[in-house]
Amino acid sequence: MPTNSRPWEGLARGERWQGHVNTGVADLPPVPVLAARGRLDGPRITVFGAVHGDEYEGTAAIHALFDALEPADLDELGGLLIGVPVANGAAWQARSRTTPHDGQDLNRAFSGSSDAIGSADPADRHATPTSQLAHFLFQTFIAPTDVIIDLHSGGLRLVHLPLIGWGTDPQGTAPDGRAEALARIFGLDFYPWQVGTTAGVLTHEATRAGKIAIGAEWGGGASLDVAGMGAYAHGLRRIWQVLGPNGPWEYESDPRPPLIGGYATAPVSGIFHPTVTLGQTVTAGATLGVVVDDLGAEQATLTSARAGLVAGLAHVGYIAAGDPYVYVGAQEIVE
């Protein structure tokens, strides 16, 4: 049965636990948790999947990692690994990017707000379910954790190149080189990526809280890419190994410059006809596609704001005004 306690806190070395924990938020389902403590010393690592409910590779990778663990593995691993395979259960059940109760994006709501009766802050008494969930996740899993890993995909609307990124501060610089170092050994299938500074994003807010935070993208289209699941699971195992006392930094570090960019949003609604493909290099001002209405009349020509790599692209044929439709990442030179 779901519980409000935190059984993983009391795990002895070499022990495992799995179960559910209540969020304390009305009408939101409990959060599934898997945990394992290695026999060696090491940090606490927390991995999130399904912060968006239409993304599946992260969830499946967490399951795969824990399913593959043998007792002998825990003899060689250190610290505590916590997996939260479905962070937003309501969105997961609805197969939706956002929480159906309020239509809000959990990955724009961290570190959240409580709904405490008697709070001195009136806004705090009326926190939305998404904000309350973000607060619960932050206080329960992120605040006591050393290393945060947040696994995403493009969901229903987008597809992504494999990206592995690190958190940055408000000036866009990485305040802790350890996050970048971890990201660069996660796996050579992934492009190094400098995550932006959008308020409410899990990796950004965890970085601001002093955590080592990395985030990833793989695939999308609301399907489960088994290759992505495997790449994520392997990357997680690498991180756990190198952070232990017997974990030398033996994996090859990706030397490529990071992708730095942002999502462009559609200025109008209509059918999106892309003229580029995922992984294509484009110049600033290059045409990315056109949007036409239901009579076939062109409504907008979409162009790139920067030169770089098309690292994310709309998967659905119809886009609404304000929807993200492309991510172009400039490949900056590393000094």
pLDDT tens digits along 123-135: 555 799 999 999 9
- Distance between CA atoms of 301 and 121, rounded to whole angstroms? 46
What is the 8-class DSSP label of residue 140? I
- Cis peptide preceding 5, ω within 30 of 0: no
**Mean pLDDT calculated for residue range 79-96:** 98
Structure-model confidence comparison of residues 134 and 116, the more confident one? 134
> What whole-number percentage of the chain has pLDDT above 70?
91
pLDDT tens-digit series, residues 185-215: 999 999 999 998 899 999 999 999 999 999 9
What is the 8-class DSSP label of residue 322? T
- Distance between CA atoms of 215 and 110, rounded to whole angstroms? 14
pLDDT tens-digit series, residues 245-256: 876 657 899 999
pLDDT tens-digit series, residues 22-53: 999 999 999 999 999 999 999 999 999 999 99
Whether 57 contacts 153, CB under 8 Å: yes
| Sheet arrangement for strand 287-292 | 298-303, 287-292, 270-274, 318-319
Nearest to 82 by CA among 11, 134, 29: 11
- Distance between CA atoms of 195 and 238, rounded to whole angstroms? 21
Lowest-confidence pick of 111-120, 220-229, 238-247: 111-120
- Distance between CA atoms of 257 and 192, rounded to whole angstroms? 7
Residue 254, helix vs strand vs coil: coil
Whether 107 contacts 201, CB under 8 Å: yes
Whether 115 contacts 126, CB under 8 Å: yes
Structure-model confidence comparison of residues 5 and 176, the more confident one? 5
Residue 45, helix vs strand vs coil: strand
pLDDT given for residue 168 in this prediction: 72
Nearest to 168 by CA among 143, 197, 126: 197
pLDDT given for residue 117 in this prediction: 45
Letter for the amino acid at 56? Y
The yes-or-no verdict on residue 316 having pLDDT over 80 is: yes
Q: Residues for the chain: how many in total?
A: 335
What is the 8-class DSSP label of residue 216? E
pLDDT given for residue 167 in this prediction: 82
What's the Rg (C-alpha) of the chain? 20
Q: Tokens 């062109």 label which residue?
A: 298
How far is C-alpha 147 from the chain's CA centre?
A: 13
End-to-end CA distance of the chain: 53
Query: Residue 185: enclosing H or E segment and its boundaries?
Result: helix 177-185
